[in-house]
Amino acid sequence: MKTLKALWVNLKVYYMMTFRNIFLMVVNYLLPILCYLMFSAVFVGINEENKKTIIMSMTAFTIAMNSYLGLPINVVRYSAGDIKRAYIAGGLRLRRVFLSAAVSNIFHCFVISMTILLTAKPLFGAYLPESMPRYFAALFVGILLSTMIGVAIGMFSKTNAMATVISQALFQPSIFLSGVLIAVEYLPKFMQKITDIIPLKHTYVLLKGYDETSLIVSLAFTAVLFVMLIIRYRFIIRRS
């Protein structure tokens, strides 16, 4: 009971803090929505065929934005510095904080994804996914994978600056090589090969429709990241 209560309080406090942090509100909500509206208008305006994939591409884009750009900055302050020391000295378990950050991000991603799903058709004439259960399953896998990448960036960074650099280094290539903004077929051949190791690409593929390879790759990435995070967590809490 004590553990559950502590976890619940962590989640509650962490979630409430997000809404008081202007930066996080901008990165988690304002920017993704603005980007979604702008890119959708442009892509649909350029080519009506984009209506078939606009929901999936914008969902993948905003999930990546939330997870790669916003989440690491929020995580890094607990993995290094005075806040981390205060938590450890005070007997608080950092894993609950990291878990709260991840759950909070999953929620933010879900809210934005639902916003896109509900507004894309009325606003841009977008085509809805053929199978909602499959779509939501793919959404869950994609959000989970992106969230773990975001937590990993935060946990492996020692400073905000480092987290920002790594975030950008992962976000920009992911966006351009995943097919979200530019179809993979239009990329040079050698770059098409590279896209196979971009997690966001597989998220996008899954959102568009079931693909066994992308599902296996996504789950494999998730499993590897999970192990990495456990190892990194042990390193963070060790006495130095």
User: Which positions touch other proteins (CB under 8 A)?
Assistant: 2, 5-6, 8-10, 13, 16-18, 20-21, 77, 81-83, 85-86, 88-93, 96, 238-240
Structure tokens at 152: 């990993």
d(CA 142, CA 109): 10
Is 210 or 235 the residue whose CB approaches other proteins more closely? 235
Is 94 or 215 the residue whose CB approaches other proteins more closely? 94
Kindly list the distances between the CA atom of residue 172 and the CA atoms of 55, 89, 168, 176, 204, in Å, as whole numbers in the listed order. 20, 38, 6, 6, 15
Minimum distance, C-beta of residue 237 to other proteins, in the bound complex (Å): 10
Instruction: Name the 3-class secondary structure at 104.
Output: helix
Is 18 or 57 the residue whose CB approaches other proteins more closely? 18
DSSP state of 134: H
Minimum distance, C-beta of residue 19 to other proteins, in the bound complex (Å): 8
Is 77 or 134 the residue whose CB approaches other proteins more closely? 77
d(CA 45, CA 47): 6
Minimum distance, C-beta of residue 119 to other proteins, in the bound complex (Å): 29
Minimum distance, C-beta of residue 7 to other proteins, in the bound complex (Å): 9
Is 83 or 228 the residue whose CB approaches other proteins more closely? 83
Instruction: Name the 3-class secondary structure at 178.
Output: coil
Quote the Cα angle for 215-43-192, to 5°.
Answer: 45
Cβ within 8 Å of residue 175, ≥6 positions away: 61, 64, 181, 200
Minimum distance, C-beta of residue 107 to other proteins, in the bound complex (Å): 17
